[in-house]
Amino acid sequence: MKESIYKAGVAALVAAAALVLAVTAQAAPGPAIPGIGGPSSISVGGYFPNSADASDRGGATQLAGEFRYQLPVPNPLDVPARTVATLGIETGARHGNHSTIIPVTIGEMVGLSHTSPNAAGTAYAGAGVGVYFENQSGISTAARIGGYAVIGYNINGMTYVDAKYQFVDHGDGPLVQVGLRF
């Protein structure tokens, strides 16, 4: 019963996110504010844990969401890049158990083809590190150091899709998300 309610909630959240993206797809993200940062974004999608601990406790498909904030730091690289701080959540429930992972990371996004990682119609790649707060049934709540690699595509200046793989004890696995910059 709880699992079917959870799946219905995930489906409703994904449908709501798709509706928001469809309605706002023609708008452009807000400008960078000097000394504060550039466009922020939210994304929603799925987490598909390879880790047996996360999968056994939270299911093979879990809800994932992120808030990204583009930091106003100088770019020392020879390619267009942006430093991004991220707060995420990956959660699922299965057979009365649960798995929740909250990543707090910082990473670097690099635009491919010598374009901004936020430019419309272009691809980007990146990597980052951070702390992953994990709460899983039968395992002590813990903070673990981990990292990720990501590749994505900007549909337009406001919407994007990306695929990420996170490397963290008890929570390895890919994430696929669609996002909205504002």
pLDDT of residue 15: 46
Q: What amino acid is encoded at 21 in this protein?
A: L
Tens digits of per-residue pLDDT, 163-178?
Answer: 999 999 999 999 999 9
Q: Domain range holding 153?
A: 2-181
CATH number reported for the structural domain that contains residue 8 in this entry: 2.40.160.20
**Alpha carbon of 164 to those of 11, 29, 44, 110: distances in Å?**
21, 22, 12, 14
Under 8 Å between Cβ of 132 and 142:
no
Tens digits of per-residue pLDDT, 111-152?
Answer: 998 899 999 999 999 999 999 999 999 988 999 999 999 999
Cα 31 from Cα 17, distance rounded (Å): 23
Cα 121 from Cα 111, distance rounded (Å): 11
Closest by CA position to 160, among listed 49, 29, 47: 29
Cα 51 from Cα 168, distance rounded (Å): 9
> What DSSP designation does 37 have?
B
Q: What amino acid is encoded at 122 in this protein?
A: T
pLDDT of residue 151: 98
Report the pLDDT averaged over residues 2-23. Answer: 46
Cα 56 from Cα 22, distance rounded (Å): 34
Number of domains in the chain: 1
Neighbouring CB atoms inside 10 A of 68's CB total 21
Tens digits of per-residue pLDDT, 35-57?
Answer: 556 679 999 999 999 999 999 99
Cα 66 from Cα 72, distance rounded (Å): 19
Residue with tokens 């020392």: 76
How buried is 97 (Cβ within 10 angstroms: 0-12 exposed, 13-18 middle, 19+ buried)?
A: middle
pLDDT of residue 5: 46
